[in-house]
Amino acid sequence: MTPHSPSPAQIRLQTLVGAGIVLLALGLAGGAVSIPSAAGYGGVGPNFLPWLVTIALLVCGAFIVWEARTGGFRSLDEPGGAAHGDWAGFAWVSAGLLANAALITTIGFIFSCTLCFVLAVQGLRGAEGKADRRPVAWLKDVAIGVAISAPVYWTFTQFLAINLPGLTSTGWL
């Protein structure tokens, strides 16, 4: 692929993306103002991270606007990939996220995150044209999902004492 110069329409869109990021940063700053700044453990208050993200977004957004207004993103390769999105893959991933959100308090963190993982993997594989709907593939995805979500759950509940929705009240499932 050879680099190309952006068209005026692309420059406008690039400017809009940068301006949107700046607006997002300003919205985050508005929310960060309402968070108390009392220093906690290590001298850092609960509003530190929102302000850090705000500043990073503001700098990035301003840079994108500046880059777009001074000629656009130069030396860009021609867009690659498919001409259109894979709607079936999008539906699988969306179903996984929505199922996770809907079921996390009912079936617990581990199983809802495992379900999310399995559905997302099916969607991403399908988008690559490598869909595998055999039962053994589903079982493998479930095993990997549990292997990822269970240690995360145990780390948060047992070691960090942060409550996540569980299936039982023991903190282990």
In 3D, which of 147, 146, 144, 138 has the Cα closest to residue 119? Answer: 138
In 3D, which of 112, 110, 113 has the Cα closest to residue 158? Answer: 110
User: What average pLDDT does the structure give for the chain?
Assistant: 87
pLDDT in tens, 129-140: 898 889 999 999
Predicted local confidence at residue 1, as pLDDT = 46
Across the range 16-35, mean pLDDT stands at: 93
Predicted local confidence at residue 171, as pLDDT = 56
Q: Where are the alpha helices (DSSP H) in 34-134?
A: 48-69, 87-127
Residue 4 pairs in a beta bridge with 76
pLDDT in tens, 66-125: 999 988 887 777 767 777 788 999 999 999 999 999 999 899 999 999 999 999 999 999
